[in-house]
Amino acid sequence: MIKKLEIIFVVLFLHGILLRFISLEWSNELIIVSGIMLFVIYLLFGFSIFTNVSPKSIFKGGFKGTPVWQIVISIWSGLVMVVSMSGLLFRVLLLTGADEMLILAVMSVSVTTIFVALMMLFKKQYLDPFYTRFFKRMIPALIFSLIFVGISSADLYYIYTKDNPEEAERIKQKMERREAERNR
């Protein structure tokens, strides 16, 4: 159930980003709701998603056959995905702090992915489903984080408002106010 919800909200988040790029109404709301739901899913159920242990069986000891290092990496990976989602959400919505969150996301996703890849090579468990579940979530998170680190807020601002000069002026004034507040 959690994995299905994850897929649904990832698709909604990506659709929201596409709708935002073509300046359709309600795109921000779709991005916010789906981003927050992904945030909650990864924060609360990251362990379950990465280890394939159902949330119900966590409390009944269903994780007993899972190695300790996989449990730790799964919990850490859930937190890393939360940071990545937060950075993407902040960047797409042109909120302050997006640069810092995305840089932190890129660093943490990269380090975690390299560590797990080395563990896979060291333990020679190439076909273990844990690695498949891990890499199919972390690699896209890394790619999207890298893409949005490379896109500045000013570039997104230009993309969002190229067809609507009134909106451009409103957002420009808002960004100038934020900059003035930062410089105080």
Q: Quick one: pLDDT at residue 81?
A: 92
State mean pLDDT over 132-141: 89
Where b means 16+ CB within 10 Å and e means fewer, 130-150 reads bbebbeebbeebbebbeebbe
Torsion sign across C-alpha atoms 75, 54, 51, 106: negative
DSSP 8-state symbol, 24? -
| Res. 62 pLDDT band, cuts 50 70 90 | low
Measured at the CA of 2, the angle between CA 137 and CA 10, to 5 degrees, comes to 45
Domain boundaries, the chain: 2-151, 153-184
Most confident of 56-60, 93-97, 125-129, 144-148: 144-148
The pTM of the whole model exceeds 0.85: no
